[in-house]
Amino acid sequence: MKEILLSVQRAFRLQGEITDFHLLTEGSIHITCLVHLNTGKNYIFQQMNTHVFRNPEDVMQNIRRTAEYLHFHFPERKILHFYQTPSGSYFFQGWRVMDAVSGRSLKSCENLYQVQKAGEAFGRFQKEVSGMNAGMLKQVIPDFHHTRVYFQKLLSLHSDLPEFRILKEWQEQACYVCDVYQKNQIPLRVTHNDMKCSNLLFDSETGQPSAVIDWDTIMPGMAVYDFGDAVRSFASDTSSSEPDLSKVGMNMTKFKAFSSGWLSQTDYTPKERELLIPSIFSVTVELAVRYLTDYLQGNLYFKTSYPEQNLIRTRNQIRLAQKILKQESEMKKLIF
């Protein structure tokens, strides 16, 4: 591995000698290394997964445009900085290099204070990029969050599983938010599309979020789906791989903390506000559809530790969606 890192260092003309490096295992998409140089500088060397991101140059152009916009309008913010080779490329043999941003990465928040501050950080990020022209960005994953397209892929398959039947019955309700978006009833916005705790860096001293990271999925989309997916991640009682369905549910205390933090920072149109709670159900069902589709196709997309894991994930997200439906009225009372 060190020989590869040395060749990447030379390609990007980074001064100094590599004194140490660590393979980071938190991310499941790319190969990522934290590299220390004797100059005192720390870098992230990352080999992109081009099976997920088939046009990595489009990914980098989206990141560059977002970084330039935020740096100009909010210079006090910590902004991701990627390096270029002398020829102007962001890549060398599939590898890219960025400055390592200081801070702690957490798999999950440790207390309600962090949950609320995470909501504020992600809500602020969404508000700050809302002034960008989303039409300037590329769609780096085709049909991402196009719920009806995901249903079409699932229903083109055959299955006698009860989970297949449940999801089929939910199709119209789950596709409602996406259908409204497709009819241009809510605005096209710049979206992060992966707002989870591990994509925040927390200041080691204050415990507050210091930077939003992992911008690979920044692209045009629905702001309400960013909210819905973030709530699904932060307020769920369990991970999506929990097999004991009795443990699955929405934690209303976490929901209130996260959503209050988020909504203290953001501005939405009346129609978007109307769709905030439905988006939580929609994005949860969409993920269940994706898990089941992958299971029926032989586990080709999501990483699995055992053959039935995507089916377990499907059941988990179906149970979560059922709980969300029962708690919709309570969630509305908490945020409106």
Give the pLDDT of residue 27: 57
CATH fold of 2-101 reads: Phosphorylase Kinase; domain 1 (3.30.200)
Across the chain, mean pLDDT equals 95
For residue 255 the two structure tokens come to 């929901």
Decide if 262 contacts 125 (C-beta within 8 A).
Answer: no
pTM: 0.91
CA dist 317 and 320 (Å) reads: 5
Are both 2-101 and 105-335 of the same fold?
Answer: no
Confidence of residue 302 (pLDDT cuts 50, 70, 90): confident
Identify which has the larger pLDDT, 273 or 78.
273
For residue 71 the two structure tokens come to 């740096």
User: In the chain, what are the domain boundaries?
Assistant: 2-101, 105-335
pLDDT tens per residue, range 94-121: 999 999 988 888 889 989 999 999 999 9
What's the chain's Rg over C-alpha atoms? 20
**Could you count the other beta carbons within 10 Å of the beta carbon of residue 38?**
11
Kindly state the average pLDDT of the residues 161-186: 97
CATH, domain range 105-335: 3.90.1200.10
Give the pLDDT of residue 26: 62
Scored b (16 or more CB within 10 A) or e, 113-127 reads ebbbbbbbbbbbbbe
pLDDT tens per residue, range 208-253: 899 999 999 999 999 999 999 999 999 999 999 999 999 999 999 9
Give the pLDDT of residue 78: 84
Give me the amino acid identity at 157.
L
Give the pLDDT of residue 28: 60
Give the pLDDT of residue 205: 85
Decide if 313 contacts 240 (C-beta within 8 A).
Answer: yes
Handedness of CA 184, 186, 187, 191 (dihedral sign): negative
CA dist 292 and 203 (Å) reads: 38
pLDDT tens per residue, range 111-158: 999 999 999 999 999 999 999 999 999 999 999 999 999 999 999 999
CA dist 141 and 52 (Å) reads: 8
- pLDDT at residue 298 above 80? yes
What φ, ψ does residue 92 adopt, rounded to 5°?
-135, 110
- 307 half-sphere exposure, CB direction, 13 A CA radius: 3
What φ, ψ does residue 100 adopt, rounded to 5°?
-80, 125
Largest separation between any pair of C-alpha atoms in the chain: 61
